Amino acid sequence: MKRRSFLKGTLATGAAAVAVNAGLLTPSTVLAEWNKAAFEAKKVDDAIKVLYGTTETVESGDVVLKAPEIAENGAVTPVTVDATKLDGVESIAILADKNPTPLACAYSFSGPALGYVSTRIKMGETMNVIAVVKAGGKVYKTQQQVKVTIGGCGG
């Protein structure tokens, strides 16, 4: 009889593992999984929807997006997103709306990390850089146009 209960136990844990694999449990339990669907989205709204589950965003002056007005070389466009004025920033995403796949990078924060990120992205032509910040259950969006004189894709 012991053997039977042992078998039952292993079957139950096996089913739980399958549930995790199939994505039935919340994704927060499975960390460091590259968000393929968001990065392959061809439209800004689609990418934001995959990332945050909504396209309803709030414009806010507390999210500061720093990007050059004119980028001479689109292959290295410096972009800084400063949301340190907001409390409890959970994530920041940077998108370039006319790139073939707009989502360039997405960061998630926890504990002592502040909502601040500075990086350099590639831009194929003149377009808007969009910063999306999630803090305290709200999704904030800020955008700025960057004029590109030399495209960054296709070398």
Partner 1 sequence: MSIKIRVRGKVRGGVAEIKALMKHPMESGRRMNKKTGKPYPAKYIDVVEVLLNGTKVIEGEWSGAVSANPYMAVKVKANKGDEVVIKAHDNTGATGEAKLKLK
Q: Where along the sequence are the contacts to partner 1 (CB under 8 A)?
A: 31-32, 34-35, 39, 75-77, 80, 84, 96, 99-101, 103-114, 116-122, 152-155
In the complex with partner 1, which residue's Cβ is closer, 33 or 59? 33
User: Shortest distance, CB of residue 72 to partner 1, whole angstroms?
Assistant: 14
Compute and round to an integer the Cα radius of gyration of the chain: 20
User: Shortest distance, CB of residue 16 to partner 1, whole angstroms?
Assistant: 24
Tell me if 133 sits within 8 A of 86, measured CB to CB: yes
- How many residues would you count in the chain? 155
The CB-side HSE value for 117 (13 A sphere, CA atoms) comes to: 20
In the complex with partner 1, which residue's Cβ is closer, 13 or 110? 110
Which amino acid does the sequence have at 68? P
> Backbone dihedral region of 138: left (phi > 0), alpha (psi from -120 to 50 degrees) or beta?
beta
User: Shortest distance, CB of residue 52 to partner 1, whole angstroms?
Assistant: 14
Q: Which H or E element spans position 153? A: none
Relative to beta strand 70-73, strand 138-150 is parallel
In the complex with partner 1, which residue's Cβ is closer, 77 or 142? 77
In the complex with partner 1, which residue's Cβ is closer, 1 or 111? 111
User: Shortest distance, CB of residue 70 to partner 1, whole angstroms?
Assistant: 17
